[in-house]
């Protein structure tokens, strides 16, 4: 099967709270200046950018480590669901934190979300320490 498109859905307030929590965790682990995390919602063509993480720090190693931590944790814990739409007309929902290969067979298995925004964003202005 070939993937034709992806649909992302979320409950924006819950996702926003998780992104803020992840930023706080990263700031405890590394000396960071700025952090920006964006995850788009809605219908995406294959290859479209759906998520971006940007981190600045006085030194590159902490920035790289924090960015990796944030994208990995985002995929594990932020309540954003992805539906993969296949060329054979089927689709599967994937929930964050699910084991590799585990899916919902169709949209009736996944509660619908009241979220009607097109982005969930945690964009940090430089925080004073």
Give residue 81's pLDDT: 93
Distance of CA 34 to the CA centre of its chain: 18
Average the pLDDT over 90-99 and give the result. 76
Q: How many whole angstroms separate alpha carbon 57 and alpha carbon 33? A: 5
Give the model's pLDDT for residue 110: 39
Domain 3-123 maps to which CATH number in 3.40.50.10310, 2.60.40.180, 3.90.1170.40, 3.40.140.10?
Answer: 3.90.1170.40
> What is the model's pLDDT at position 107?
38
Question: Looking at residue 47, what is its pLDDT?
Answer: 95
pLDDT band at 74 (very low <50, low <70, confident <90, very high): very high
What is the structure's pLDDT at 76? 92
Domain locations in the chain as residue ranges: 3-123
More confident residue, 105 or 67: 67
- Residues 103 and 92 sit within 8 Å (Cβ to Cβ): yes
Mean pLDDT of the chain: 82
Q: Report in angstroms the alpha-carbon separations of 6 from 9, 66, 83, 100.
A: 10, 27, 6, 17
Contact present, 22 and 78 (Cβ < 8 Å): yes
- Both tokens of residue 2? 């070939």
Contact, 15 vs 33, CB < 8 A?
no
Given this model, what pLDDT does residue 94 score? 83
Q: Tokens 């944030």 appear where?
A: 70
128 has a pLDDT exceeding 80:
no
Q: Which residue has the higher pLDDT, 51 or 111?
A: 51
């Amino acid at each position: 099967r070939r993937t034709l498109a992806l649909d992302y859905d979320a409950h924006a307030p819950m996702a926003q709270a998780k992104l803020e929590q992840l930023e706080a965790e990263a700031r405890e682990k590394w000396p960071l200046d700025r952090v920006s995390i964006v995850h788009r919602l809605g219908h995406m063509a294959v290859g479209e950018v759906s998520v971006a993480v940007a981190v600045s720090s006085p030194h590159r190693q902490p920035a790289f480590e924090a960015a990796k931590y944030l994208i990995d944790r985002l995929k594990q814990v932020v309540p954003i669901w992805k539906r993969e739409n296949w060329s054979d007309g089927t689709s599967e929902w994937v929930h964050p934190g699910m084991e590799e290969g585990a899916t919902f067979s169709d949209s009736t298995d996944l509660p619908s979300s009241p979220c009607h925004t097109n982005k969930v964003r945690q964009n940090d202005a430089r925080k004073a320490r």
